[in-house]
Amino acid sequence: MLRRFSYLDTEALDDYLSAIEGGALVSHETRSTKTNSGHGGLNIKVVSAGGEHVSELADTRSMSDTHAAQFDRLLAAAEDDSDGLRWVNIADADADLPGAKMGSMVCWNCDILVHPLSEALSKSGEFASLLGLVDGLAPVAEALGLSFDGLPTDGERHAMGAIMDGIDAPKVILGESDDSNWTLVCPIREQFESGIAAGPACVVGKVIKVLKVGDWRHIVTIPGVNLLPREERRKLDKAAPATGHEDEYVQGPALVLDLLAIYR
């Protein structure tokens, strides 16, 4: 199968495959030879035998390992030993996803989208871009005598920027299907993204959290939550959102993934 990746965490891929293969393949060399016999032609290596000339042509190729080839080998290893790798291929979400536990690898063809709130609040999102645009336009507007009434002041913009830095909101990809209530929740590392578009795609990742029916998870990491006692964090995880704020949360059943790949 030819794959087009819109997300591939190459660091995780290297780690997974080196664990399976016992190391990292840098390059490998293949050599093929072809021997012809006859009385004429161009010979690379000529040997006289019984009045005949024997020619031997050698073709040597050296190839470096690629991430696409690594991913193919990972899928092949999963097919050979799905139980050992705790690999779950999702054919029927309602039947297969409940079997995925912490540490399982899941592979699901589903519909994906970037959660709007996470996209807006991410460091490359619309809100950060707007703050940067206003900062850039401020000196020009001042030079032209334009009014900035109603727009945030310098101090307010810096304060908003500090809040954005503290929120730590990566983009979150959701994987869903019309045939199931299950959701995949996939925070991404933006350096491995290459243009994620909504629509059908295959999602591969490692389960790091299971949300049961009735559990909730806020899309954005709230600053200071990790400083709370463990029991308080658990209560916040399971607490239902205030009325009108349901779109800021994901409700179980759901799996939170350490995302490896999205491809079509």
The tokens for 182 are: 């299950």
Owning domain of residue 234:
67-115+169-263
Q: How far apart are CA 28 and CA 22, in angstroms?
A: 16
More confident residue, 28 or 221: 221
Co-location of 250 and 213 in the same domain: yes
- Cα 52 to Cα 38, 46, 48, 58, 140, distances in angstroms: 6, 10, 6, 20, 86
- Cα 108 to Cα 86, 95, 122, 151, 264, distances in angstroms: 14, 13, 25, 45, 12
| Count of domains observed in the chain | 2
Co-location of 193 and 98 in the same domain: yes
Co-location of 92 and 131 in the same domain: no
Co-location of 104 and 156 in the same domain: no
For residue 72, pLDDT over 70 is answered with: yes
Co-location of 187 and 160 in the same domain: no
Q: How far apart are CA 115 and CA 120, in angstroms?
A: 9
For residue 102, pLDDT over 90 is answered with: yes
Co-location of 245 and 208 in the same domain: yes
Co-location of 74 and 193 in the same domain: yes
Co-location of 94 and 176 in the same domain: yes
Co-location of 128 and 101 in the same domain: no
Confidence of residue 235 (pLDDT cuts 50, 70, 90): confident
Co-location of 179 and 223 in the same domain: yes
Q: How far apart are CA 158 and CA 154, in angstroms?
A: 6
* Domain closes at, from 103, 138, 167: 167
Q: Lowest-confidence range among 105-114, 123-132, 186-195? A: 123-132
Amino acid 142: pLDDT: 62
Co-location of 188 and 138 in the same domain: no
For residue 158, pLDDT over 90 is answered with: no
In a domain, 31, yes or no: no
Residue carrying the six token digits 């491809």: 263
